[in-house]
Amino acid sequence: MKLIYSNASPYARTARIAIRELALLAQIEEINQHPFDNPAQLISFNPLCKVPCLIDSNGQGLFDSQVICEYLDALVDNKLFADINNDWQLKTLYSLTRGILDSSVAWQQDKVRGEEGCSEFWQKRFISSIDRGLNYLQKRIDQLPEKFNAIDINLITTLDYLAFRHPDYDWQQMHPKLASWYQTKNNRSSLTETMPQE
């Protein structure tokens, strides 16, 4: 199998973390391609030209990051989603972490338009949704399973992305309980090996 990714993509990072947590790295070749370069290989397997994209053992393309993570997890008896699949509240928290990440990425995409192109209205909406989402999670962080899981992957990826792209947004000061939770989780090799970079 092959995973097409880019180093800066938080969505691709979730798949790369899952690969390592599931001990599948020896079976999957990781290929670093920037989607803005419109690489032919990526487009041939994902017409949206987005990362991550997994090329499975049958030569079929799988996307997006959630589909890839669930597919990989199914290969090894659902280690990452087992606690989530039968609990609607945990599924909701999983969806929330994806939504916060989406807002964080949208905020970055608006910022790179420059002063004349960016929208103060939309940036405020993105930041407000991130604030509310992290507050909601902070109040429920004790509900998360102890065993490392897909919610952990999404949430840690989101928090690291905020530090990477929005360093002035001090989520640790604003959400100290989340910061304490993060400190107990962030030393895993799957995380340190996949930290975002340009």
Say yes or no to pLDDT of 116 above 90.
Answer: no
Predicted confidence band of residue 115 (pLDDT cuts 50, 70, 90)? confident
CATH 1.20.1050.10: which residues of the chain? 82-192
Q: For residue 53, is pLDDT > 90?
A: yes
Averaged pLDDT for residues 132-158: 97
The boundaries of every CATH 3.40.30.10 domain in the chain are: 2-75
Hey, which CATH number is domain 2-75, 3.40.30.10, 3.10.105.10, 3.40.50.10420, 3.40.50.150?
Answer: 3.40.30.10
Contact, 31 vs 19, CB < 8 A?
Answer: no
Residue 64 has pLDDT above 90, yes or no: yes
Q: What is the pTM of this model?
A: 0.96
Q: Which fold has domain 82-192?
A: Glutathione S-transferase Yfyf (Class Pi); Chain A, domain 2 (1.20.1050)
Q: Report residue 146's pLDDT band, with 50, 70 and 90 as the boundaries.
A: very high
**Interatomic CA distance for residues 182 and 168, integer angstroms:** 18
